[in-house]
Amino acid sequence: MSSNFHTEFIPLTIQPQEIESKSFEMITEELGEHSFTEEQYPIVQRIIHATADFELGRSLVFHPDAITAGISAILAGEPIVADVQMVQVGISKPRLAAYGGDVRVYISDQDVMEQAKAENTTRAIISIRKAVKEVKGGIYAIGNAPTALLELIRLVKEGIAKPSLIIGVPVGFVSAAESKEELAKLDIPFITNLDRKGGSPVAVAAVNALSLLAVERGGQK
């Protein structure tokens, strides 16, 4: 047997900040020319960093007011509404807390579970209905449940929900792409991508990128 199989693995000793900086340089080089604005690009870059998926990054679509609306909402201390706990866990909360914001998720609330069972519908739908009643404005970060996004879109169209920004990037085969297509038709700030790809890491990356932009614009408290 060749001795090559016994070569000792030597781990990198680069600092985390250096790794992230190098990753971003590689993303910029590999992505090449693009049509994203200077404000939109940090969102795209961080999503690619989180997923290593350039196709997903290139498919991102932004409402013209999305970045400004998201930054303003964070600086105003508006809450982030997540569709699932995975999104809630991944979001950097200290940056939001500095401006009075937090992350809320309702899908596992007892009353949500009971109502979903009684109405024979999904917890995701009921959780969005509850969120809209309890949250004024806010940023909705939906990375997992297309039904949550579709319900939020319905409530927006009916004038019941008025979110400051919708980050709608659910992953999946059933209604995922369709829900994003409907979101892109709304005349309110949104960030989405028009295919099946997405997921909780994408929603998390978008929120974290926005909060970093908010700190740059508003200053760290």
Domains of the chain and any CATH numbers = 61-218 (3.40.50.10230)
3-state DSSP assignment of residue 87: helix
DSSP one-letter code for 185: T
Tokens describing residue 37: 């604005």
pLDDT value at residue 125: 97
pLDDT by 10-residue block (mean), the chain, 221 residues: 56 69 83 90 95 94 98 97 96 95 97 97 97 96 96 98 98 93 97 95 97 85 51
Please, are residues 161 and 129 in contact by the beta-carbon 8 Å criterion? no
Can you give the pLDDT at residue 13? 58
For the question of residue 34 being annotated catalytic, the response is: no
- Please state, in angstroms and as integers, the Cα–Cα distance from residue 194 to each residue in 57, 105, 185, 191, 219, following that order: 11, 25, 11, 10, 33
**Closest to 133 measured CA to CA, from 152, 113, 108, 110:** 152
- Neighbouring-strand partners of residue 193: 60
Q: How far apart are the first and last CA of the chain?
A: 61
**Residue-wise over 149-182: b if at least 16 C-beta within 10 A, else e?**
bbbbbebbeeeebebbbbbbbbbeeeebbebbeb
Q: What is the pLDDT of residue 2?
A: 47
* pTM (2 d.p.): 0.89
Choose, from 6, 34, 49, 63, the residue flagged as catalytic.
49
Q: Give the helix/strand (H/E) hosting 213.
A: helix 200-218
d(CA 120, CA 60): 34
Q: For residues 163 and 140, is the Cβ–Cβ distance under 8 A?
A: yes
How far is the C-alpha of 65 from the C-alpha of 80, rounded, in Å? 18
